[in-house]
Each structure stands twice: as C-alpha cells, then as structure tokens.
C-alpha cells in the first residue's frame, strides 16, 4: 500500500522547471547505472514508471513523480519522489556533467520541500567520490539520508552483510541522520524496509 499509485509528473532540465516547491519530496541520487530508476520502480511497484537502461547515463533529467495524497500528522500531503540524473558516467559530455553537478548542488541547497535523500549505491562498489560528497552534504546540513546498497543479488548474503556493516561504520557520529540497508530491485530484497524508510523521510 505504501508508495503505491505513483504517477509521472514532469521531466526537468533545471530546478526552476520542477513542481512548485511546497509539500514534501524525497530525492533518489546515485552514480550512473547504480540502479536508481529500478529502485524507484520496485518501491512504487510500477515496472514502467521510471525508465531504466543497461546504458549508463540514461536518466539525463530530473524526473518528478507524485504520490496520491496521504495524511501525514493530520495534514493532507501529495508527496513527490524525484529521480535525479545519474552522476559520474564518463561518456556523458563534460558540459552535461558540469550542468548536472551545478543543478544537483542547487537542488540540494535550495529545495525547501526536500525531506531526505535516498542514496543508491551498487553494493559491489561502495562509496565512490560522488557518494561521499552526497553523504558529507547530508551530514553537514543534517538532511536525513537512507542508503540502499543495491544489486545485493550479485553478492552472497554474507558478503552483503559485511558491506552493510562497513558502510554503517562510516556514518560514525552522523548515524542519527543516516540509515542503510541491503536492497535488490531484481530479487525484491528489502523493498518493504525501503518503503518504510521513504515514508519516514516524507514525514520528517
Ligand atoms: P542512470 O539513469 O543511467 O543513472 O541509471 P540508474 O541508476 O537509474 O540505473 P537503472 O535503474 O537504469 O539500472 C541500471 C542497470 O542495472 C539495468 O541494467 C538494471 O537492470 C540493472 N539493475 C538495477 N537494479 C538491479 C538489481 O537490484 N540487481 C541487478 N542484478 N541488476 C540491477
Ligand atoms: Mg535512471
């Protein structure tokens, strides 16, 4: 039931084109090909919602999705989910990468309705530079962050648990604002847990 009924709203090339900055939204960020769009589809239980691709750099837009109105603390909200462009793919032209670097930065700093970040990380390649930057930003501004260590189906259960423990260690003093879990869009691992986490962010 959680996060069901999501609908595409619009795709934006700059933050000024996003829906009005009111209510509550949660953004999905991560490196190119990490599995952001797949995670969004798994969480909303809607396979064709966000476009996924084997080719990294597929999502070169900020894509906004709306959820049906829900009562949050007695207030009716129409929450949004935002699929941010993948970051770090070398074949995306430099100019485009620079553009998105600035836009993502502006989005994180200016977006008042942003309640939290879901950081999608390939469990086999934890915390590359972009991921660290995002985490540092969240820690510095106390923006809540939930990390999905995705593609967990590529590792054994044991290896996955080790990756999770290693990541949590890096949260250190920031653990009140940062949470993490194992996830897989293909194997449907951790989907309910992640839905709860997104709802918690939206309620923040
Ligand atoms: P960009 O939009 O290009 O930044 O990529 P993205 O982060 O949105 O990744 P996307 O969801 O398009 O997935 C990239 C590739 O990884 C696709 O081939 C997916 O099928 C695959 N993939 C995504 N999630 C999983 C997963 O949990 N397990 C496995 N094995 N593959 C996955
Ligand atoms: Mg994508």
Pocket of ligand 1 contains residue 44 by CB under 6 Å: no
- Please indicate, yes or no, if residue 2 is contained in any of the structural domains: no
Look up the pTM and report it: 0.94
Q: How many domains does the chain have?
A: 1
- ipTM score of complex: 0.98
The whole-number pLDDT of residue 185 equals: 97
Taking Cα atoms as reference points, which of 121, 135, 16 lies closest to residue 64? 16
pLDDT tens digits, residue range 159-199? 999 999 999 998 888 777 899 999 999 999 999 999 999 99
Pocket of ligand 1 contains residue 36 by CB under 6 Å: yes
- Please indicate, yes or no, if residue 195 is contained in any of the structural domains: yes
- Please indicate, yes or no, if residue 161 is contained in any of the structural domains: yes
Distance CA 190, CA 192 (A): 6
pLDDT tens digits, residue range 91-118? 777 888 888 888 999 999 999 999 999 9
Q: Is the pLDDT of residue 86 over 90?
A: no
pLDDT tens digits, residue range 4-57? 999 999 999 999 999 999 999 999 999 988 999 999 999 999 988 888 777 766
| Those residues with Cβ within 8 angstroms of residue 98's Cβ, 6 or more apart along the chain or in another chain | none
Pocket of ligand 1 contains residue 61 by CB under 6 Å: no
Residue 43 · residue 198 · CB < 8 Å:
yes
Give me the CATH number covering residue 131.
Answer: 3.40.50.300
Range of the domain at 18: 7-203
């Amino acid at each position: 039931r959680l996060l069901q009924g999501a609908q595409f709203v619009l795709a934006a090339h700059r933050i000024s084109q996003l829906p009005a900055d009111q209510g509550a939204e949660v953004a999905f960020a991560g490196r190119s090909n990490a599995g952001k769009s797949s995670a969004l589809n798994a969480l909303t239980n809607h396979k064709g919602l966000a476009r996924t691709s084997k080719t990294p750099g597929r999502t070169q837009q900020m894509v906004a999705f709306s959820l049906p109105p829900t009562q949050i603390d007695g207030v009716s909200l129409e929450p949004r989910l935002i699929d941010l462009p993948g970051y770090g793919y070398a074949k995306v032209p430099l100019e485009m990468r620079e553009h998105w670097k600035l836009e993502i930065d502006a989005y994180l700093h200016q977006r008042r309705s942003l309640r939290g970040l879901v950081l999608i990380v390939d469990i086999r390649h934890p915390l590359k530079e972009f991921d660290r930057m995002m985490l540092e930003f969240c820690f510095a501004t106390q923006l809540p962050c939930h990390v999905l260590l995705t593609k967990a189906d590529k590792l054994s259960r044991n290896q996955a648990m080790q990756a999770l423990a290693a990541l949590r260690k890096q949260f250190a003093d920031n653990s009140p604002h940062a949470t993490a879990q194992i996830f897989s869009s293909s194997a449907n691992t951790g989907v309910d847990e992640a839905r709860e986490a997104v709802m918690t962010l939206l309620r923040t």
